[in-house]
Amino acid sequence: MSNISAIILAAGSGTRMKSSKAKVVHKVCGKPMINWVYSQAEKICTDKIITVVGNRREQVISTLGEDKEYAVQRQQLGTGHAAAVALEKIPDGGVVIVLCGDAPLITEETLKAAADFHIKSRCAATVITADIDDPKGYGRILRSESGSVLGIVEEKDASPAQRKIKEINSGSYCFDTALLRAVISNLSNENAAGEYYLTDTLAILLENGYEVGAFKIPDINELMGINNMVQLSQAERVMRKRINEAHMLSGVTIIDPENTYIGADVKIGADTTVLPGSIIGEGCVIGSGCIIGPNANLKDCEIGDGSEINASTVVSSKVGKNVAMGPYAYVRPNCVIADKVKVGDFVEVKNSTVGEGTKIAHLTYVGDSDVGSGVNFGCGTVTVNYDSKKKHRTTIKDGAFIGCNTNLVAPVTVGEGAYTAAGSTITEDVPGDALAIARSRQTVKEKWRTKKYGE
């Protein structure tokens, strides 16, 4: 088996994106384009992967990671020039796969099959192609009458007849490393763009008597190159479908896949149902038998088996098993919610732990708190955690009962099994088993209206 290395081209300016961000750091289903391409390359490479960076290279490097290997293309003189810069770092022998950083939809299966085809056919170069109805913007594959590949012509340089060709260059290729190295310095920039085109290496190899092949694939989506925001949204749609179908095939029910947005690295257990309008972002791990949504917005969180998250937002937190949440709950970063907790409507929890079976049913703010198990929060409880300078913690021990409309002015502790009376503003610790009442007594003025306004 030949050694396989890869070059990922990502130095272009991406001007057509009209964005201050480098093109390849734009995300598709939550994962930057360049990371998609890199992770596919990683799956089939046995040797180095060199990413060519240039424009906004700090952004690209910090997105993909400092630990990866880069070649810097100082001036964007074209894809051929970019590949030449990277080739200096690619070891001799074997095969080098060239990929575009702006084509994130290429699959591992396609790359594997193309590399196998390339190695078996002993071609000097193999280009991955597809027939598409609207080939605008892509390089076209030129073939002889007998069907053998003659080269690639860029749209800008193509004659009207060539522009009608539907077979396009994906921008992904396999090359014999030594032969690519031998011809890459022969490229010329005498073309419509004034650039050194990598695509011209095919014709040069042919002129030198080598064979060149094309590996045509049926799924045109895989080849989609992203040059603007419209294409980015189209790629997102394709990727979304792939991600959602993979979850469905592993036992997740997704009621409306067109309206369900699941990040690339999300894990979901079998028999979980995801209802429409839900966004399950990067870093989420969802258990089995859950009901997520409608309109759940989850990011970087863990949800245990059998939990229900209805129209709620959970960020960077851990939620246990059989938790009932929402509608309209907001769990902010750094919460650990134990099993069988209820976090009901209009409840916000932040930087807090909540013990097993605790019920926070409605209209409550729990911030910077350590709440035990079996606690009951009455409606409208507020942990008063901020004194305008510092945040303070509230501790509520197991089995406490917090009456409706209690303010707990932190730092404060409510002991085990203690009660607070409805409408209390608690400023001092409440011992276990006690009842704290902190409100003025009710006064009733008999016949007050009649006395004031008459019969």
> Catalytic positions, please?
362
In the block, tokens 């006064």 appear at: 443
Contact string 99-128 vs Ca ion (x = CB under 5 A)? ---x--------------------------
Asked whether position 77 contacts ligand UD1 by CB under 6 A, the answer is yes
Asked whether position 236 contacts ligand UD1 by CB under 6 A, the answer is no
Minimum CB–partner distance for residue 210 and ligand UD1 (Å): 19
Of all residues in the shown chain, the one whose CB is closest to Ca ion is: 225
- Whole-angstrom Cα distance, residue 177 to residue 263? 36
Asked whether position 9 contacts ligand UD1 by CB under 6 A, the answer is yes
DSSP state of 214: E
138 makes contact, choosing from Ca ion, ligand UD1, none, with CB < 5 to 8 Å by partner type, with ligand UD1
Asked whether position 138 contacts ligand UD1 by CB under 6 A, the answer is yes
284 makes contact, choosing from ligand UD1, Ca ion, none, with CB < 5 to 8 Å by partner type, with none
- Whole-angstrom Cα distance, residue 223 to residue 221? 5
431: cis peptide before it, omega within 30°? no
Asked whether position 104 contacts ligand UD1 by CB under 6 A, the answer is no
Q: Comparing C-alpha atoms, which of 101, 217, 108 is closest to residue 168?
A: 217
DSSP 19-42: -SS-GGGSEETTEEHHHHHHHHHH
Of all residues in the shown chain, the one whose CB is closest to ligand UD1 is: 139
State the virtual CA torsion across 203, 204, 207, 211 in degrees, nearest 10: -70
Minimum CB–partner distance for residue 35 and ligand UD1 (Å): 14
Of the pair 13, 427, the CB lying nearest Ca ion is at 13
Of the pair 162, 231, the CB lying nearest Ca ion is at 231
Q: Which stretch, 98-106, 234-242, 276-284, 443-451, contacts Ca ion (CB under 5 A)?
A: 98-106
List binders of Ca ion among 214-233 (CB under 5 A): 225, 227
Of the pair 223, 426, the CB lying nearest ligand UD1 is at 223
Asked whether position 215 contacts ligand UD1 by CB under 6 A, the answer is no
Q: Which stretch, 95-103, 177-185, 233-241, 350-358, contacts ligand UD1 (CB under 6 A)?
A: 95-103
DSSP 366-385: EESEEE-TT-EEPTT-EEE-
Minimum CB–partner distance for residue 39 and Ca ion (Å): 19
Give the 3-state secondary structure of residue 356: coil
Contact string 150-169 vs ligand UD1 (x = CB under 6 A)? --x-x-------------xx
Q: Which stretch, 197-205, 270-278, 318-326, 437-445, contacts ligand UD1 (CB under 6 A)?
A: 197-205
Of the pair 10, 347, the CB lying nearest Ca ion is at 10
| Contact yes or no for 415/431 (Cβ under 8 A) | yes
Classify residue 389 by burial, with Cβ atoms within 10 Å: 0-12, 13-18, 19+. Answer: exposed
| Contact yes or no for 286/280 (Cβ under 8 A) | yes
Sequence-distant (6+) residues with CB within 8 A of 15 are none
Sequence-distant (6+) residues with CB within 8 A of 397 are 372, 375, 413, 414, 415, 416, 417, 418, 432
List binders of ligand UD1 among 426-455 (CB under 6 A): none
Q: Which of 17, 95, 103, 239 binds ligand UD1 (CB under 6 A)?
A: 103
- Whole-angstrom Cα distance, residue 85 to residue 257? 42
Asked whether position 81 contacts ligand UD1 by CB under 6 A, the answer is yes
Of the pair 199, 383, the CB lying nearest ligand UD1 is at 199
Distance, C-alpha 3 to centroid of its chain: 31
In the block, tokens 């490229």 appear at: 187
Contact set with Ca ion (CB under 5 A): 102, 225, 227
Contact set with ligand UD1 (CB under 6 A): 9-12, 52, 73, 76-79, 81-82, 100-103, 138-139, 152, 154, 168-171, 197-199, 225, 227
